Amino acid sequence: MLLIVRSLLLAIMLMLAFVFGGLYCLFRPRHRDNVHMFAKLFSAVAPVLGIKVIVRQPQTPSPSPCIYLANHQNNYDMFTHTAAVPKGTVSLGKKSIVWMPLFGQIYWLSGNILIDRNNRHKAFSTMADTARKIKEKCLSVWIFPEGTRSRGKGLLPFKAGAFHTAIAAGVPIVPVVASNQSNIHLNRWNNGVVIIEVMAPISTEGLSKEDVKPLSAKVHSLMADKLAELDHEAGSMMGKPAAV
């Protein structure tokens, strides 16, 4: 019964968000704050799903513009990570998203950037254009560097595109880590705590494309350690061992 009720509520809330949010975007298409508006709408769904989201920001506000690198776990990212998305931020997504009925068109209309990962030349061209937009429009970009959902398998290897873009734009990288959420089920009343921590910025000043691999390795190590730490803490809050 809980599964049915939640599924209906989720469908209604998402439809309302898409309809009213889509109409809003029609009046200011691809505005730099459209994604933040949708993020607030989606993050409000978390309590309905039995998820308590805790967002931790660094003592010093993240610089703007910057590139946010977040771990990508499953579809629930739409309701958890969104609580940490600031104004002036758009996301980078696969070009195929645009063909998803309603969601894809709104994703583009809200100002997000689409990349064709199957075409290496076009992908690099898009990343170069993204670097230009970051500098010209003072725009931050939210990227999932794993490129796919980890589905509870920890932090997957990173793709290089985000690091090339950060270095080309000359902006810092801000890691964002969410604790494990692979145990979320719509038919369970309490789905526990998801802790999202926005980490300290990592400068790319003075770096070149030769520094991409060591920079990627450094960020991956920091995020993997933070993920293990947050998983343990979130598990303790629920009174059970953290997920492995």
Q: What is the pLDDT of residues 112-125, one digit of tens each?
A: 998 887 777 777 78
Res 45 pLDDT > 80: yes
The conformation of residue 138, written as its DSSP 8-state character, comes to T
In a domain, 217, yes or no: yes
- CATH number for the domain spanning 19: value is 3.40.1130
Beta bridge partners of 69: 143, 175
pLDDT in tens, 75-119: 999 999 999 999 999 999 888 888 888 888 899 999 999 888 777
Q: What pLDDT, on the 0 to 100 scale, is given for residue 239?
A: 63
Res 244 pLDDT > 60: no
In a domain, 82, yes or no: yes
Question: What is the number of structural domains in the chain?
Answer: 1
Q: What pLDDT, on the 0 to 100 scale, is given for residue 242?
A: 45
**Which residue range is the domain that position 105 belongs to?**
2-237
pTM: predicted TM-score of the whole model, two decimal places:
0.92
At 220, the pLDDT band (50, 70, 90 cuts) reads: very high
For residues 5-25, give the mean pLDDT. 92
Could you tell me how many helices (H) and strands (E) the chain has, helices first?
Answer: 7, 7
d(CA 124, CA 161): 8
In a domain, 243, yes or no: no
- With 0-12 / 13-18 / 19 or more C-beta atoms within 10 angstroms meaning exposed / middle / buried, residue 241 is exposed
In a domain, 94, yes or no: yes
Tokens of residue 97, six digits: 């998203």
Question: Regarding beta strands 140-143 and 67-70, do their DSSP bridges make them parallel or antiparallel, or are they unpaired?
Answer: parallel
- Characterize 71-100 residue by residue with b for buried, 16 or more Cβ atoms within 10 angstroms of its Cβ, and e for exposed: bbbeebbbbbbbbbbbebbbbbbebebeee
Q: What pLDDT, on the 0 to 100 scale, is given for residue 240?
A: 55
Tokens of residue 58, six digits: 């660094």
d(CA 96, CA 163): 22
In a domain, 244, yes or no: no
d(CA 97, CA 95): 5
Tokens of residue 45, six digits: 């769904």
Please give the mean pLDDT across all residues of the chain.
91
Q: What pLDDT, on the 0 to 100 scale, is given for residue 120?
A: 72
